Amino acid sequence: MLTSLSVSLFYAHEDAGIWSLMDLAANKGVIAPDDLSADSFFQAQGGLHLLHDRFHTFLRTAAAGDLASYVYFLLGTLAEISPNALPDDLAKLATTELQGEDLSKLVLKKKGGALSLAYLDPQGKAPSGRLSPYFDNVEIPTALWKKEAAVALDEYFAVAGLRAKGASDSRLGRLVVLWKAHRGKLTA
């Protein structure tokens, strides 16, 4: 079972480069001009980075294609494991799986009092050959997942909130409001 975990989202653009949302939230890094509007940032490219002991990367993927897919995955896993009654907008996000454009799957399931994380190939397997990015059954304490997913989402929503200013009726704006209103229920 993992005893430490860092969950990080990253933004990617062919001209602006790759930046962690932590850096972007701290006003370090660059968002491409064509991704500055709420709608454009919502559709921006990006991915998920998972580390053990701060620097041992065991997953770095952008297979879903867009950053919002990973935001929804993190929100969905928090909704899925939340013991609280959630409003319909959050309850419908509850998920344990994200399928990438390459048909890979990221799966987080309850396993006893913990969670089990898998990154599976298109056949639903985790081949263990040399340099295989796939894995199965990485156990993570539920409280640790909640804490670290919330950190990554806080970073995303710090940046997204700036992008959605003046566009509260956009998909991004509604998502920012949803996170702010129900963060406590998702992370309790």
8-18 mean pLDDT? 98
Q: Residue 14 is part of which domain span?
A: 6-187
User: Is 70 inside any structural domain?
Assistant: yes
Identify which of 21, 114, 103 has the alpha carbon closest to the alpha carbon of residue 68.
21
Quote the pLDDT of residue 81: 96
Q: What pLDDT digit, counting tens, does each position of 110-159 carry? A: 999 899 999 999 999 999 999 999 999 999 999 999 999 999 999 999 99
User: Is 1 inside any structural domain?
Assistant: no
State the total domains in the chain.
1
User: Is 38 inside any structural domain?
Assistant: yes
User: Is 153 inside any structural domain?
Assistant: yes
d(CA 5, CA 77): 16
Q: What pLDDT digit, counting tens, does each position of 55-108 carry? A: 899 999 999 999 999 999 999 999 999 999 999 999 999 999 999 999 999 999
Q: Is 57 exposed, middle or buried (0-12, 13-18, 19+ CB in 10 A)?
A: exposed
User: Is 22 inside any structural domain?
Assistant: yes
Quote the pLDDT of residue 134: 97
User: Is 154 inside any structural domain?
Assistant: yes
Name residue, tokens 């089990």. Answer: 116
The DSSP annotation for 47-87 comes to: EEEEEETTTEEEEEE-TTSBHHHHHHHHHHHHHHH--S---
User: Is 79 inside any structural domain?
Assistant: yes
User: Is 179 inside any structural domain?
Assistant: yes
